[in-house]
Structure 1
Amino acid sequence: MSKHVLLVLILFMAVLPISAQEVAYNGNPDRSFLIARGLAFEGHRTTARDTLYRILSKYPDYSDVRNLLASTYSWDGNYETARAHFNKITSEDRQNKEAWVAAIKNELYADNYYLAYSLSNKALQYLKNDIIIKELQSKALSDLKNAQAIKSEKAIIAKQIDTVAPQVAKNRIGMGLALEVFDVVFDPMIYSHIEYRRETQAGTIIPRINYSNRFETHGVQYELDFYPKFSKKAYGYLNYGYSNSPIYPLHRAGAELYLNWPKNVELSAGMRHLSFTGATANIITGSIGLYKGNYFFSLRPYVTPITSESQSKIGLSGSLLARKYFRDGDNYLGLNAIYGYSPELKQLRSDDVLLAESLLYIESQQLLIEYQFSSKKDTNNIYKSNFGITRQELAFDSGNYYWSLSAGLTCQVKF
């Protein structure tokens, strides 16, 4: 009899794990997913994966759960396991953009640039002309070419890639001209610039010369922008400008750090410094940007603290930008709404005196429309037109306003 009891116990112990797995999860999958997502974002990814696997044991087609599970593996550097889960999602749900984007980024993190490029090509078959996928495609191609340049033994693969994809232009020359007219007081103002843009492994470098005719005064400003690349998720902005003309700041400098976050969100924080003759302005700024399909939205505030012997004030202004991209990042329609005055955007004069700090407190509203496009036959030529309308309080006549209209055209050539 004892032998039979022992046999039953052995069989019971053998099937117990299976039974436990079958009844292990009976909770609310949506609620459990939210809890697991919070754990994953807080760094408790092992615990989060336990919950995600339990959900999948009962709901194997819950794509959001599997996508988060794959992402946790990707964040931990386990790219092969992440790839298997991403492949399962994209093979069953061809329109799941979030999974395609995460899958391509997983290969970029793993330095599998060719696979990332191939995945982006495949994704574009189902998500045609998606701007995010196209940007990842361009990055994968660029990273692949850089890796091949370093490792000369892969030169044959580089030639194969060049046969299926266009050469990425690393140089641009651009020039622009704009005119602003006013309904009262001010004479028309002319703004122009010429610049050269160079893409390097360290980042993008843009030297620029600005010329303006404002307040019946000619002025030239020399400026340099640099966008250094720190990592796959971070880059920066550095700026310096100099002019000895009274219609420009004597010195201007800027610095900002941009970080790419999940869900196609980009955050930044930085400062600007403007030095006029007898006055300075230090501006705190930043931005929050969101890519949603072919759309991009960005909110940017400007905070300018002013401290004098008699009082302390804060100047507030900001802009809201919305763009719709078309076939690539060089073709878009944009709308920019600006509220408040910031000397980073404009400088004015009153009674032959350049106004800097005092203009931080005047009322100002601007609406700008921009349209950038390239020819279908020759994408190396890019054109940008813009139109703006401004309502602003007169600095020397508080409570009264002027209206202005502005229009401009910019041309760029890539090579």
Structure 2
Amino acid sequence: MLSVFKSILLAFCVCASLQIQAQVFRQKANAEELYNEAVKETRLGHYDKALTLVNQGLKKQPDDIDMQLLLGRLYMLTGNNEAARKQVKKVLTKAPRYRDAYQYAINIEIITGKYEEADCYTDEALGYFPNDRDFMLKKMEIQHLLNRINKGNQLAENLLSRFSEDTTVRNAYIEHYLFTGRYYMKNGNPQQAGISFEKVLALSPANTEAKDALLRGYIQGQDYESALEQINAALSTNPSSYELLLRKLDILRNKHAYADALIVFQTILRYHPNDAKVRGMETELRMEAAAYYANTDPYLLYRAILEKNPGNQEALNKLIGFSMSRGAYKEALEWINRGLKSNPNNLKLLSQKIDMLEGDRKYTEAALLAERLWQRNPSADLKARLVTLQIASGRYYLSQLQYDEAITAFERVLTLEPNNKEALENIVNTYIARKDVKNALLTLDKAISYYPADDLLLLKKSSILADAGRFEEAAQIAAALSKKSPGDTRFAAAFTAQRLAAGRTLMQAEEYDLAKEQFTQVLEQDPKNEDALNYMINLESGTGQSEQALYYANQALLYNPGNKDLLLKKAGVLDQLKRYPEAADIMQQLIRRYPYTAKYKTAYLSSLLASGNRYQQNNMPDSALSVFTQVLTLNPKDSLALQYTTNILMGTKQYDSALVYVNEGIKYYPDNTTFLMKRATILENQQAFAAASLAADSLVKLNASPVNTDYADYLKSKTLKNQFGLFFLHSSFDYNDDPYSIATIEYRRFMKRGSYAARVNYAGRKEGTGLQAEGELYYTHHPKWYSYAVAAYSNELVFPQLRAGYSIFRSFKYDIEAELGIRYLKAEETSSISGVTSIAKTFDDFWINLRAYFISDDPEFYTSFNLTTRYYMNRRQDYISFVAGLGTSPDDKSRLIQFPKLAGLLTRSIGAGYQHVFKYRTTIGINGTWITQKITSQSYQNQYDLYLTFLRKF
């Protein structure tokens, strides 16, 4: 009694636990559905509805982090910032690496004006996600709000250096310096404002706000020359601009440069002759100029003096000085040249001319002039000046891509100072620009011989060698420098960069082992190097070393836990190792963290598919089916999962279920021939031949290949229930000149379990016309059992009066079939009963049958044996046959007429035949047989049969 009670209690507990487990899974499923629906409503702006759905989901799944964060976001979207702050903070406490949560936390603090708190959150986020572009941009935005200009500048420069090609970063950089420019202008610091606006124009030369603000700053600071340079640069592309010309005119008036102002005025008048404002300006402008020059203009006075006394050196010097102070360098140069005409060796004028040419960036001319002066007066100052100008000349040529001229200029410096480091470095740079690595290295070696302790020159050599593909030499230099100065990150960075570049090059050349050596050396110096770890994962995975790839993936995740790209790679490696459940777990985590990232879902599905295939290969169809069902739950349209599921169900003969999945496949992929073929095959196995034939017809419309057409014909034939047949047997004899023939007409009806037929046999003889009516039946009782029955009745003129027979067939393993039957024959004067037994075996395309008859013709007893072989072709529709017999049997149609007379004779027969089927509907056949009978101990008689067959299904 106690044991019964324990059993009942145990069963109750099991049922209860199963019920609870099912309830938990159901709640989880419902919670996910509620979350997905809430996300959809949030996107549509239905925040109240989304809030209701999230709260329902949290009741079912209170620990769901994604749902908790969505609740915080909805609080924020509905203006409940305090609740949003608490909710997001709660999420970050549970999941401190949840990236989206930091975004919401920062936005909440910005919206509520708590910029310091927002700044703290950005610092936390950057701690977990260093160098993250979006968080760096957000931090820079907060610096604007806090008016921390210098910190914002640092962030802007850092962002641009890291993401120089990123459009978002470039736009943020421009907006930052526009902001700082406005800030400085507002606070009365036009000089700093100008620096900010120049940074904007360096990145966006067409920025209107920066150009206008910079111009206003120049004017406000009375830097008229810079203002004029900017306006003249703009006028070079738009010379008729009304606004620019007016601005230039105002600046010239502020400078009291009335002569130039009148020229600009005439230009405005030429381009805009009908403008009333311009036409009314001339008198005012001339009056203003006249008032300015009314009493004394030193420039005009000295000019008048020089015209009267061209050799007056003081007047000339004053005019040069006035022109230079006004920024009129071309004018100053004209005065200098005028003075040099009368005094060509004047050192002061020559020196001033050098200054003017240098200011006008005519470095080569300035250098030639400086060389003349130095040759006349070889002082240290003039030599230094000549060196500076030659280097400036070389740099100018280098900027203009005139490499030969640049090298000439720099080498001229080396004739003055053979160890001039700047000239040597510039020659190296010129050779690099010309891609002349050999001469670049020769020059650099010369520089190193002068400055052997200059590590930067060695670093440059390392860089040149690396760029030339000589990575090993480059890395050796960088390694030596790094060892010498372990605290200098530049040398370690160069070593790392060069080893990585070498590894990449070797990878491209498919030298994978050598590439691994390069990356291994990087990791020996810097085990956390993300690039090297990634390359090692890829290399080991690509070369089939999956265990090693997994090791490096785990190492990378130690230093950067939670990195989604590394997790994705690890999942891929686990797939290679066929550890599919582990790979699927990782992908499931990624999908939870990033529910809207398509590539993670795709990778997860691929992992599940691989896992399912593995189960199939291990002959675990139930496990495989479970995995493929998971795939279809996530993506009902997955074609591979639909195919694999269908295959498993077909293999286990679950045809109804298989048909459901294959119909889904056809719904999503109506032009997919694979699904149509599977549908036809399933319906064929269900013996739904009409539907299978329609599916095969659709398949042929899409792809009328010979195979598809043949299959469609085959299935079409299965829908035909009727068959018409004609048979003709012709027999001739060597002992009789009177051959005879039998013609037969047949109708056959096919049914689900077999077929039945009715025949009429016709034979004409001297005695009269013989007719025989015959019925035949094939009936399947069971997949392993079927019966054959025949009955015939004739008018006895040619055929036996009565013939009947029955056989039962049984199939066994190894394609073996056995028969047991009986035959009855009644002729004019005799009747016989025969027992029949046979055994048949199939060997691939060969079929062999041995049949024995045991004939009782009272009082005699005879035996007969038949051996039949067939070789099948074309889906077992066509065959070649060979028949050999001993004795006469009651199933030999050609000898039934003479059966009573032949039954006791020693008879041997041999024959061959061929049957061909056209499109599974029309059958033709021909058979020939030679029969010999021993009449006496010394004499034989021969018979020759020809049998023709024609069958047509309809």
TM-score category, normalised to shorter length = 0.5 to 0.7
Superposed, which structure 2 residues align to 1:164-203 within 5 Å?
Answer: 164=699, 165=712, 166-167=715-716, 168=718, 169-185=720-736, 187-203=738-754
Q: Which residue is 1:223 aligned to?
A: 774
Distance 1:142 1:383 in 2: 26
Distance 1:159 1:347 in 2: 43
Superposed, which structure 2 residues align to 1:308-319 within 5 Å?
Answer: 308=859, 313-319=860-866
- Deviation, 1:158, is 8.0
In the TM superposition, what whole-angstrom CA distance separates every residue of 1:229-275 from its partner, at most 9, and x where no partner exists? 10111111011101012321111111101111110111111001111
Q: Does 1:405 align with 2:944?
A: yes
* 8 Å CA contact retained: 1:383, 1:409: yes
Superposed, which structure 2 residues align to 1:367-386 within 5 Å?
Answer: 367-375=910-918, 378-386=919-927
Q: 2:799 aligns with which of 236, 240, 248?
A: 248
Distance 1:406 1:285 in 2: 24
Q: 1:342 aligns with which of 865, 879, 889?
A: 889
Q: More strand per residue: 1 or 2?
A: 1
- Deviation, 1:212, is 1.9
Q: Which residue is 1:287 aligned to?
A: 838
Where 1:341 maps in the other structure, the secondary structure is coil
Task: Tell me: CA distance 1:143–1:281, structure 2 relative to 1, closer, same or farther (3 Å).
Answer: farther
Task: Tell me: CA distance 1:392–1:283, structure 2 relative to 1, closer, same or farther (3 Å).
Answer: same
Q: 1:260 aligns with which of 792, 811, 815?
A: 811
* Unmatched 5+ stretches in structure 2: 1-615, 623-646, 660-679, 700-711
For 1:339, the aligned partner's letter is L
- Deviation, 1:330, is 2.6
In the TM superposition, what whole-angstrom CA distance separates every residue of 1:153-203 from its partner, at most 9, and x where no partner exists? xx7x88546645432133221102121111113511112111112210232
Q: 1:212 aligns with which of 763, 767, 784?
A: 763
* 8 Å CA contact retained: 2:796, 2:827: no
Q: Which residue is 1:325 aligned to?
A: 872
Q: Does 1:298 align with 2:856?
A: no
Task: Tell me: CA distance 1:322–1:87, structure 2 relative to 1, closer, same or farther (3 Å).
Answer: farther
RMSD: 3.7
- Deviation, 1:338, is 0.9
In the TM superposition, what whole-angstrom CA distance separates every residue of 1:52-77 from its partner, at most 9, and x where no partner exists? xxxxxxxxxxxxxxxxxxxxxxxxxx
Distance 2:681 2:857 in 1: 42
Q: 2:821 aligns with which of 267, 270, 276?
A: 270
Task: Tell me: CA distance 1:343–1:228, structure 2 relative to 1, closer, same or farther (3 Å).
Answer: closer
For 1:384, the aligned partner's letter is G
Where 1:263 maps in the other structure, the secondary structure is helix
Distance 2:828 2:813 in 1: 44
- Deviation, 1:296, is 0.5
Where 2:877 maps in the other structure, the secondary structure is coil
Task: Tell me: CA distance 1:370–1:205, structure 2 relative to 1, closer, same or farther (3 Å).
Answer: same
* Unmatched 5+ stretches in structure 1: 1-81, 89-103, 117-137, 150-154
Task: Tell me: CA distance 1:139–1:284, structure 2 relative to 1, closer, same or farther (3 Å).
Answer: farther
* 8 Å CA contact retained: 1:366, 1:388: yes
Q: More helix per residue: 1 or 2?
A: 2
Q: Does 1:359 align with 2:902?
A: yes
For 2:886, the aligned partner's letter is Y
Where 2:731 maps in the other structure, the secondary structure is strand
Distance 2:760 2:749 in 1: 15
- Report sequence identity in percent: 24
Distance 1:382 1:214 in 2: 29
Distance 1:190 1:114 in 2: 55
Distance 1:342 1:319 in 2: 9
In the TM superposition, what whole-angstrom CA distance separates every residue of 1:188-235 from its partner, at most 9, and x where no partner exists? 111211111221023211111111235664311110110011011111
Where 2:929 maps in the other structure, the secondary structure is strand
- Deviation, 1:307, is 3.2
Distance 2:795 2:650 in 1: 50
Superposed, which structure 2 residues align to 1:71-220 within 5 Å?
Answer: 85=619, 112=655, 142-146=684-688, 159-160=694-695, 163-164=698-699, 165=712, 166-167=715-716, 168=718, 169-185=720-736, 187-214=738-765, 217-220=768-771
Q: 2:785 aligns with which of 234, 237, 254?
A: 234
- Deviation, 1:365, is 0.9
Q: Which residue is 1:23 aligned to?
A: none
Distance 1:406 1:364 in 2: 14
Distance 2:845 2:652 in 1: 24
Task: Tell me: CA distance 1:108–1:271, structure 2 relative to 1, closer, same or farther (3 Å).
Answer: farther
Q: TM-score, normalised by structure 2?
A: 0.27
Where 1:329 maps in the other structure, the secondary structure is coil
Task: Tell me: CA distance 1:87–1:195, structure 2 relative to 1, closer, same or farther (3 Å).
Answer: farther
Superposed, which structure 2 residues align to 1:18-97 within 5 Å?
Answer: 85=619
Q: Does 1:389 align with 2:930?
A: yes
Distance 1:273 1:203 in 2: 23
* 8 Å CA contact retained: 1:108, 1:140: no
In the TM superposition, what whole-angstrom CA distance separates every residue of 1:102-152 from its partner, at most 9, and x where no partner exists? xx9x97995648969xxxxxxxxxxxxxxxxxxxxx997555134x99xxx
Q: How many residues align?
A: 281
Distance 2:867 2:776 in 1: 22
Task: Tell me: CA distance 1:172–1:87, structure 2 relative to 1, closer, same or farther (3 Å).
Answer: farther
Distance 1:380 1:398 in 2: 49
Distance 2:824 2:833 in 1: 5
Task: Tell me: CA distance 1:287–1:242, structure 2 relative to 1, closer, same or farther (3 Å).
Answer: same
Determine which structure has greater relative contact order: mean sequence separation of CA pairs < 8 Å that are 6+ residues apart, divided by chain length: 1
Where 1:333 maps in the other structure, the secondary structure is strand
* 8 Å CA contact retained: 1:181, 1:189: yes
Q: Which residue is 1:39 aligned to?
A: none
Where 1:194 maps in the other structure, the secondary structure is strand
Q: TM-score, normalised by structure 1?
A: 0.59
* 8 Å CA contact retained: 1:347, 1:356: no
* 8 Å CA contact retained: 1:248, 1:347: no
Distance 2:693 2:728 in 1: 40
Task: Tell me: CA distance 1:393–1:114, structure 2 relative to 1, closer, same or farther (3 Å).
Answer: farther
* 8 Å CA contact retained: 2:823, 2:890: no
Distance 2:620 2:849 in 1: 29
Task: Tell me: CA distance 1:370–1:347, structure 2 relative to 1, closer, same or farther (3 Å).
Answer: closer
- Deviation, 1:398, is 6.5
Task: Tell me: CA distance 1:330–1:286, structure 2 relative to 1, closer, same or farther (3 Å).
Answer: same
Distance 1:111 1:258 in 2: 28
Q: Which residue is 1:8 aligned to?
A: none
- Deviation, 1:300, is 0.5
